[in-house]
Structure 1
Amino acid sequence: MKMRILIVLTYYNPYKSGLTIYAVRQAQALAAMGHDVTVLTSQYERNLPTNELMKDVRIIRLPVTFRLSKGVIMPGILSTAWKLIAESDLVNLHLPQGDAALVAILAKIRNKPLVSTYHCDIKMPAGLINKLAGWGASLSNHISASLSDSLVQNTRDFAENSRFLKRYLNKLTVIQPPIVVDPVSENEKTQFVRKFEIDPSSKIIGMVARLASEKGVEYLVDALPEVLKDVDNAQVIFVGNYQNVIGEQAYKDKVLPMIERLGDRWKFLGVISEVEKAAFFNLCDVLVLPSINSTESFGMVQVEAMTCGTPVVATDLPGVRQPVLFSGMGKIVPVKDSHALAKGILDILKSSVRFNGEKLNALKEHYSPERVAKAYETLYQKLMGPNG
């Protein structure tokens, strides 16, 4: 049965975060199955088109009047959402989202099934405006969750430990996140090494993230000197936005001077293409996920690295620890513990372990966007009923 699906979230492609990457893969996989998929999101940069078709997904971006902390204010969302909900069979929100409550209320008025995919808890930076924005987003999320027919999360582990989600466990549907890394050739790996001047003799400690407070970058900074005592050719290579992360200027000002003291043992690559990221995962000796709180609920990049055979060191957070527990491909270390992080990294670097074969194939199949889209399709059809 072909469905008309409306997906609503604050940021969408080309913005890069775990939430947006998830939503892009979900939307495109559902469209590939033959469903009509529309994404309603913000025109967070004025040069982005307000209407676009990308891989059979219709994208509608609403102009932003102003920003409030990490959120945006879009006056046009009321009328546009009302119209699009009428044209849709079902609405799928991605939380956290400041506008979620409004869209949820409109969906219920229109008597449309409502699914909310809950990605992570909210923890705002210091400051009155940030705190007010966080309170508003939290209230919006609670209203949305209360009105939702189902709440989707990556793992029960995170849901049962989330201060927010544990109130709504009766609505929980666990669907693993959509994860895929395209194959990369030896020539593409060579081009990557040349372009970014990677020393092939280095032991590469990879990190893929935004430079944001919840990512725990400072603990990797503190761990690196201890690693270098035993492995003097180790180098951290950081992939992702580190210069203009929305709402993270104070954190950047705190962390960058610490990183600068490490000299050439730390290298920023910035935002890179998907092909380059695949090459990067294949070249890493270990990928590190030192996240520190529940604004990280899974960490898709660690599974991306694992599917390339690269082991992972991740912190012992609900949800975040699950990929290592599921696959056995890495180490779990205590949160905010630089010494334990260094030991986990050293254990892997000294073992020179890599994975291949059936384990990688099983991992790729388990997290494939097609499998995830099928799980969403099954949920949607259940909520719509036999006559949907």
Structure 2
Amino acid sequence: MSGLTNVARDVAEGLAARGWRVCVMASKHDPSLPNTEILNGVRVVRAPVLAKVGKGTLGINLTRLALREMRRSRVANLHLPLIEAGLLTRFAPIPVVSTYHCDVSLPPGMVNVAQREAVDRSNRSGLRRSVATVVTSEDYARQSRLWPEIAPHMVAIPPPCLPVAEAEPTYRRGDGFHVGFLGRIVEEKGVEHLVDAFLALDDPDARLLIGGDHSRIAGGSVVDRVRAHIGDDPRVELLGFVPDERLGEFYASIDVFALPSVNAFEAFGIVQVVGMLAGVPALVSDLPGVRLPVERTGFGRIAAPADVPALRDGLEALRDTPPDPAAGRAAAATNFSVDAVLDAYEAVFTKAAG
């Protein structure tokens, strides 16, 4: 689960609900999944994987099957970064719209450097051949390594942010101030800095709820590092993966949502907007794209990345002077509604298809 997969799913299902015929071509990352199925009106085709390398997969069938589906379609939408982007756009029989989510971020090492350069090279080739490039924000796109290729045909469309249903606060642990994080427990999320900032509050009734997968993470998890920062403090709880059907319970249980990302490879942060739509303000890092929802809505605080005192001050400010949840919810809905996002994608695809 990631922002990229959520966007691909939500746009596909949203357009299918509007009467579009949509096929999603994906890698079969889990061998137990069927090769084809219909999910919420979307036809899904999966290509078997030969090998997994870092955060990516290798499989010659993905390109072949994708080109087959393109011949049955009017327009293609590639979600980048994608190692096959260059090859697919070179042989695509129809116009291609690329959605560029973020630059590839990998740990140091010769293999990872080679993988990043290969993906960047393929993405550059794919973007040059695309009739349009969708980005979540110009704020993020301008600092991307691929900005020269993005700029000529850029269209800024925020990701669709689906609101969660109202639910009981089943994750809440008492009446104290509750801070929540939701996401993969990986390097770029900066979760250990949030832990340090929370512990610096010195509030015995406060709680920090950390939700997110750390057992099946492409590229590796940093959960051991996070546990070391938590120590034996019982106020911090690792929840593990929070399924979609319980997201409403999670957001209902917290007073502030925190997204303490530490590098510019975090491009937006859908989870913070979902929280805003549930009436929960956000504390986010001052990074391109990530800061955009708070800047537009005023519903939260912005802190320097990896700055523990600044994160602590932000938590204190939101605890002691909480913003109006009704106003914040309304501002988020105005700026990031699903219908507006789908309207924008429909316009781009319709123009691309002629």
TM range (shorter): over 0.9
Query: Residue 191 of structure 2 is aligned with which of 195, 198, 217?
Result: 217
What is the DSSP-based 3-state SS (H/G/I as helix, E as strand, rest coil) of the residue aligned with 1:45? coil
Instruction: Tell me the residue number matched to 2:348.
Output: 379
- C-alpha distance in 2, partners of 1:297/1:78? 26
What is the DSSP-based 3-state SS (H/G/I as helix, E as strand, rest coil) of the residue aligned with 2:73? coil
- Tell me, yes or no, if structure 1 residue 296 matches structure 2 residue 266: yes
Instruction: Tell me the residue number matched to 1:177.
Output: 159
- C-alpha distance in 1, partners of 2:63/2:160? 30
AA partner of residue 217 (structure 2): V
Report how many aligned residue pairs link the two structures.
354
Q: Deviations over 1:86-125 (max 9, x none)?
A: 1111110011112222222121xx1x11111011111211
- Tell me, yes or no, if structure 1 residue 246 matches structure 2 residue 218: yes
After superposition, residues 139-218 of structure 1 pair within 5 angstroms as 139-184=121-166, 188-189=167-168, 192-193=170-171, 198-218=172-192
- C-alpha distance in 1, partners of 2:279/2:66? 43
After superposition, residues 18-33 of structure 1 pair within 5 angstroms as 18-33=3-18
Q: Deviations over 1:117-172 (max 9, x none)?
A: 01111121122222221111111111111111111011111112223224431210
What is the DSSP-based 3-state SS (H/G/I as helix, E as strand, rest coil) of the residue aligned with 1:36? coil
- C-alpha distance in 2, partners of 1:366/1:328? 12
Instruction: Tell me the residue number matched to 1:232.
Output: 204
Query: Residue 74 of structure 2 is aligned with which of 86, 89, 97?
Result: 89
Instruction: Tell me the residue number matched to 1:318.
Output: 288
Structure 1 residue 319: Cα displacement: 0.7
- Tell me, yes or no, if structure 1 residue 366 matches structure 2 residue 352: no
Whether the aligned pair in 2 keeps the contact of 1:46 and 1:63 (CA below 8 Å) is yes
- C-alpha distance in 2, partners of 1:124/1:182? 32
Whether the aligned pair in 2 keeps the contact of 1:239 and 1:269 (CA below 8 Å) is yes
- Tell me, yes or no, if structure 1 residue 276 matches structure 2 residue 246: yes
Structure 1 residues 262 and 147 mapped into 2: Cα distance closer, same or farther (>3 Å)? farther
Q: Deviations over 1:163-208 (max 9, x none)?
A: 3224431210011110112321xxx415x34xxxx31223211001
Instruction: Tell me the residue number matched to 1:45.
Output: 30
- C-alpha distance in 2, partners of 1:313/1:349? 11
Structure 1 residues 362 and 224 mapped into 2: Cα distance closer, same or farther (>3 Å)? closer
Whether the aligned pair in 2 keeps the contact of 1:63 and 1:74 (CA below 8 Å) is yes
Query: Residue 50 of structure 2 is aligned with which of 56, 65, 73?
Result: 65
Structure 1 residues 103 and 262 mapped into 2: Cα distance closer, same or farther (>3 Å)? farther
Q: Which runs of 5+ in 1 are unaligned?
A: 1-15
Structure 1 residue 318: Cα displacement: 0.7
- C-alpha distance in 2, partners of 1:223/1:262? 16
How high is the TM-score relative to the length of structure 2?
Answer: 0.95
AA partner of residue 88 (structure 2): V
Structure 1 residues 243 and 257 mapped into 2: Cα distance closer, same or farther (>3 Å)? farther
- C-alpha distance in 1, partners of 2:326/2:349? 35
- C-alpha distance in 1, partners of 2:330/2:219? 38
- Tell me, yes or no, if structure 1 residue 349 matches structure 2 residue 319: yes
What is the DSSP-based 3-state SS (H/G/I as helix, E as strand, rest coil) of the residue aligned with 2:145? coil
Whether the aligned pair in 1 keeps the contact of 2:300 and 2:323 (CA below 8 Å) is no
- Tell me, yes or no, if structure 1 residue 255 matches structure 2 residue 229: no
Structure 1 residue 22: Cα displacement: 1.1
What is the DSSP-based 3-state SS (H/G/I as helix, E as strand, rest coil) of the residue aligned with 1:349? helix
- C-alpha distance in 1, partners of 2:245/2:51? 34
- C-alpha distance in 2, partners of 1:236/1:175? 32
Structure 1 residue 365: Cα displacement: 4.5
Structure 1 residue 74: Cα displacement: 1.2
AA partner of residue 24 (structure 1): R
Whether the aligned pair in 2 keeps the contact of 1:180 and 1:367 (CA below 8 Å) is no
Whether the aligned pair in 1 keeps the contact of 2:192 and 2:225 (CA below 8 Å) is no
AA partner of residue 96 (structure 1): P
Q: Deviations over 1:228-277 (max 9, x none)?
A: x2x2222110111022311124x334333223x04312111122232311
- C-alpha distance in 2, partners of 1:329/1:213? 26
Q: Which runs of 5+ in 2 are unaligned?
A: none
AA partner of residue 189 (structure 1): E
How high is the TM-score relative to the length of structure 1?
Answer: 0.87
- C-alpha distance in 1, partners of 2:288/2:323? 26
- C-alpha distance in 1, partners of 2:62/2:267? 28
